[in-house]
């Protein structure tokens, strides 16, 4: 006997949400209340089956309004109850091992009529640029994460500017869109800074170099070579040792260290200076800007197959992301760049993203440490971990071009 499950509905005068299980003749063989199977021996089972709301639901599926609906034999409903009770008990045991985050709405892994609440995502299973979603009945009027996959394109050598993009712009370059529930949200911004040391000779050389750059700025190219070539000529060294306190001692330690190297003895100038005077050369340490950093974002999603269509969707999502993260084979000589991903939160109060590379996708098909699957080997649950890295830095201009009430990038 094949069984068709109705959509959820409420009954006037009774609490909770009900679902009917109907046979091929659209007769009720079982009733679920809030995800639990009702015993046909209870009055609530009979009240639900004979309610006006139940008649409307059954007529909707049968396609004949106002026609009386016959009931199945008590033995059939009792057998269905016993069978489904055992299945639900086994499922609950598996869910208890997986964790408390398991969704309880759909107790059976079975085909069912698709229905969507207002705002639920509409997706296509066949279009090349399809929209996929998990859960399959996710309501996009609520906060969510949208991931779009694009072909990687280069139009010039340098594409790291604030307004540059490496995502293809034609309709064919969009490979699909994915809607997922809101993950754990965080972002980190920063720049690369590093320590810089410069002794007195370096400071002097830097000042002379700055003078050379000023000469370039003033278009005095004729004297540039002379300025740079004479940084450490005899006159300049004499000026340092005469006018810079401690300069003679530092120069002496450098000379002594070089002399010892000739004799095969390696001693650092600072060691000689410390032993002789109890001082070392001032490193004039500073923290200097060394460049931007590329931000990393990690997301983790627990996905549970509550129905066969949802199990199919989970596998399609995983394949969609794996394919986009893989390099493109051209021939023995060349490989193409993997696709890139554009991420957006539905909430404008959170951070924005630049285009992303999917560095790794890791799927744990046994998240609780043991294998649990349905009869068709579909895993009951899996955990998908995604590690993205932005393909260009975040600049101050990026923050300024976002909405005034947002947090920027």
**Joined tokens for residue 73:** 């034999």
| pLDDT over threshold 70, residue 102 | no
Handedness of CA 159, 163, 169, 174 (dihedral sign): positive
Residues 119-128 have pLDDT tens digits of 555 444 333 4
pLDDT given for residue 365 in this prediction: 94
What torsion, rounded to 10 degrees, do the Cα atoms 394, 395, 397, 400 define?
60
pLDDT given for residue 260 in this prediction: 59
The count of C-alpha atoms lying within 13 angstroms of the C-alpha of 196, restricted to the half-sphere facing its C-beta, is: 11
Q: Which range in 161-165, 200-204, 289-293 is most confidently predicted, on average pLDDT?
A: 289-293
pLDDT given for residue 127 in this prediction: 37
- Compute the distance between CA of residue 17 and CA of residue 35 in angstroms, rounded to an integer: 8
Q: Which residues contact 104 (CB under 8 A, 6 or more apart)?
A: 35, 95
pLDDT given for residue 396 in this prediction: 87
DSSP collapsed to 3 states, 320-337:
HHHHHHCCEECCCCCEEC
- Count of CB atoms situated within 10 Å of the CB of 124: 11
- Count of CB atoms situated within 10 Å of the CB of 70: 9
Q: Among residues 355, 344, 345, which one has the least CA distance to residue 160?
A: 355
- Count of CB atoms situated within 10 Å of the CB of 26: 20
Where residue 223 falls among pLDDT bands split at 50, 70, 90? low
DSSP codes joined into one string, 11-75: -TTS-S-EEEEE-TT--EEEEEETTEEPPTTSHHHHHHHHSHHHHHHHHHHHT-TT---PPPPHH
| pLDDT over threshold 60, residue 64 | no
Where residue 249 falls among pLDDT bands split at 50, 70, 90? low
Q: Report how far Cα 52 is from the mean position of its chain's Cα atoms.
A: 47
pLDDT, greater one: 129 or 192:
192
pLDDT given for residue 107 in this prediction: 40
Average pLDDT rounded to a whole number, residues 343-359: 90
Q: Which helix (H) or strand (E) holds 237?
A: helix 234-243
Tokens 């003679």 correspond to: 248
Mean pLDDT of the chain: 75
| pLDDT over threshold 50, residue 118 | no
Q: Give percent of the chain above pLDDT 70.
A: 67
- Determine which of 43-52, 147-156, 335-344 has the lowest per-residue pLDDT on average: 43-52
Q: Which range in 95-109, 113-127, 130-144 is most confidently predicted, on average pLDDT?
A: 130-144
Average pLDDT rounded to a whole number, residues 209-221: 50
Q: Which range in 269-283, 311-325, 367-381 is most confidently predicted, on average pLDDT?
A: 311-325
CA-based R_g, the chain, Å: 35
Q: Among residues 88, 65, 78, which one has the least CA distance to residue 29?
A: 78
| pLDDT over threshold 90, residue 106 | no
Between helix 234-243 and helix 247-262 the angle, nearest 10°, is 120
CA distance between the termini of the chain: 56
């Amino acid at each position: 006997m094949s069984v068709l499950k109705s959509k959820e509905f409420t009954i006037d005068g009774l609490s909770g949400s009900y679902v009917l299980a109907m046979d091929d003749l659209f007769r009720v063989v079982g009733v679920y209340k809030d995800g639990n199977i009702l015993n046909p021996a209870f009055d609530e089972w009979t009240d639900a089956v004979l309610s006006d709301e139940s008649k409307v639901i059954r007529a909707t599926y049968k396609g004949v309004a106002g026609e009386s609906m016959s009931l199945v034999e008590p033995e059939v409903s009792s057998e269905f109850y016993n069978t489904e009770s055992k299945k639900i008990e086994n499922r609950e045991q598996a869910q208890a091992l997986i964790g408390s985050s398991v969704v309880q709405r759909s107790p059976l892994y079975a085909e069912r009529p698709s229905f969507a609440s207002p705002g639920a995502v509409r997706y296509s299973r066949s279009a090349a640029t399809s929209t996929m979603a998990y859960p399959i009945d996710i309501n996009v009027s609520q906060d969510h994460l949208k991931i779009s996959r694009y072909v990687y394109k280069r139009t010039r050598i340098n594409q790291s500017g604030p307004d540059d993009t490496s995502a293809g712009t034609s309709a064919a370059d969009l490979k699909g869109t994915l809607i997922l529930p809101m993950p754990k949200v965080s972002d980190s911004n920063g720049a690369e800074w590093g320590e810089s040391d410069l002794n007195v000779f370096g400071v002097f050389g830097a000042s002379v170099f700055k003078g050379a750059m000023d000469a370039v700025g003033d278009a005095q190219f004729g004297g540039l070579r002379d300025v740079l070539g004479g940084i450490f000529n005899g006159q300049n060294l004499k000026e340092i040792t005469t006018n810079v306190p401690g300069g003679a001692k530092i120069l002496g330690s450098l000379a002594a260290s070089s002399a010892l190297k000739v004799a095969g003895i390696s001693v650092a100038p600072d060691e000689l200076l410390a032993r002789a005077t109890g001082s070392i050369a001032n490193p004039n340490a500073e923290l200097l800007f060394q460049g931007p950093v590329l931000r990393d974002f990690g997301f983790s999603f627990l996905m549970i197959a509550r129905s066969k269509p949802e199990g199919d969707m989970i596998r399609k999502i995983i394949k969609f992301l794996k394919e986009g993260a893989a390099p493109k084979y051209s021939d023995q000589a060349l490989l193409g760049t993997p696709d890139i991903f554009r991420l957006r939160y539905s909430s404008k109060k959170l951070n924005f993203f630049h285009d992303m590379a999917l560095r790794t996708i890791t799927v744990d098909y046994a998240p609780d440490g043991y294998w649990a699957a349905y009869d068709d080997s579909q895993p009951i649950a899996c955990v998908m971990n995604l590690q993205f890295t932005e393909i260009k830095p975040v600049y101050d201009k990026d923050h300024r071009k976002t909405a005034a009430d947002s947090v920027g990038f």
